[in-house]
Structure 1
């Protein structure tokens, strides 16, 4: 079955153009016109990627992603922000909230397609080689143009082969505070929420997150959490 992408945007033209492009690229697409509807659709349909605007009625993109990250099932769901808000503060807030990629409008559809493909390849490469393929039953083959379908097909590489070539867990030197921050990140909390739990400022938490990204050689929160889970740094 095709991979499912949720597009959330209150602008009908954007929803239609993005949805049409992604469907032509081989994905299944569902669309929401506000954050509240998007959250409900995520809980119902469990999409593989969320593409969302920030400025939306009833619930904006920041709040949507914050709520998504609080749900254990969606803590590593790839999230792309598409927005007219291009100032540095808005981008920083987006990454602190938990988005993986921030694309300012106007954007090129080909770039969006490349971003989504990259996020999915990273996501499913990690899930396959870690033996974690939730919701994938024996007859299922998740289809995506080219090699993702190969990774998902049980006939290509069975679990024993995957385990044989999977890398051993890495050992990295983390401070006690970094370990605390990493555990809370894995639960889907934002920097602000982590700061409240640890009685530290968001800026201090941001420094710890930056250190974790550097030590793990990852580039965003989703990759960091995948790295932590894969290498058993968190449960």
Structure 2
């Protein structure tokens, strides 16, 4: 069963067989997957359900992968989403063009599934470190995603599973304000019906846990916008 807070991958490819094969392997690895058949559908899905990473085929009808990448990287709200470009174009000028358009990685066809999965993990490690067992640190707070331990000033804190995921999400982007809707999507999952008020309740629990041994409250409430760490 795929966890609600597992990274969401948007797979964009007009070849159904290729798309199905990659989607199957991504799901087997524990990722949530959305699929788009062309560039226009991809743009709609990104707006409706922002992914953590996009696997994007270069050659597609109507709207090419290069154009999709260019548009996404030109917008502040989608600029930070990692894009892995898939292409049969293996010449150096083509790779350079893809990367200069904004792609974070470039994989030439034919490729092995193992290689693609390794590239996905590497890019997610930079974008969402808590999902790949990385240790996150902010000020005197340390979160070990692999052992599920959180300490502050060296003292271990007791956090519930939801509070742990909430803290990990905030620690991935210190200073960035995340709305209640964004936190619901990342921590609980889009398919789970939870009221936004639930976020406030768990933020309160997280605040209490973080300050259990003393210290200032590191969480910031931004009226009408959401919450941030620091």
Common fold by TM > 0.5: yes
Distance in 1, matches of 2:92 and 2:28, equals 33
Q: Are 2:50 and 1:46 aligned?
A: yes
Within 5 Å, give how 1:94-113 maps onto structure 2: 94-113=98-117
Larger helix proportion, structure 1 or 2? 1
Larger strand proportion, structure 1 or 2? 2
Task: Report the counterpart of residue 120 of structure 1 in structure 2.
Answer: 124
Distance in 1, matches of 2:115 and 2:52, equals 18
Structure number with larger C-alpha Rg? 2
Distance 1:130 1:103, change over 3 A: same
- Provide the secondary structure at the position in 1 that maps to 2:187: coil
Distance in 2, matches of 1:26 and 1:87, equals 33
- Provide the secondary structure at the position in 2 that maps to 1:29: strand
Q: How many residues align?
A: 151
Within 5 Å, give how 1:1-235 maps onto structure 2: 1=4, 2-125=6-129, 128=172, 130-132=174-176, 134=178, 135-137=182-184, 140=187
Q: Which runs of 4+ in 1 moved over 6 A?
A: none
Distance in 1, matches of 2:115 and 2:177, equals 27
Task: Report the counterpart of residue 223 of structure 2 in structure 1.
Answer: none
Q: Taking structure 2 as the reference length, what is the TM-score of the superposition?
A: 0.59
Distance 1:158 1:16, change over 3 A: farther
Q: Which runs of 5+ in 2 are unaligned?
A: 130-135, 137-170, 190-205, 219-230
CA contact (8 A) 2:84 2:104 kept: yes
Instruction: Tell me how large the CA RMSD over aligned residues is.
Output: 2.9
Distance in 2, matches of 1:70 and 1:116, equals 22
Distance in 1, matches of 2:120 and 2:95, equals 18
Q: Taking structure 1 as the reference length, what is the TM-score of the superposition?
A: 0.57
> 1:112: how far off?
1.1
- The Cα offsets for residues 64-123 of structure 1, whole Å up to 9 and x where unpaired, read as 001111221111100001111111111111011000110001111111111111111211
Distance 1:131 1:138, change over 3 A: farther
Distance in 1, matches of 2:52 and 2:30, equals 13
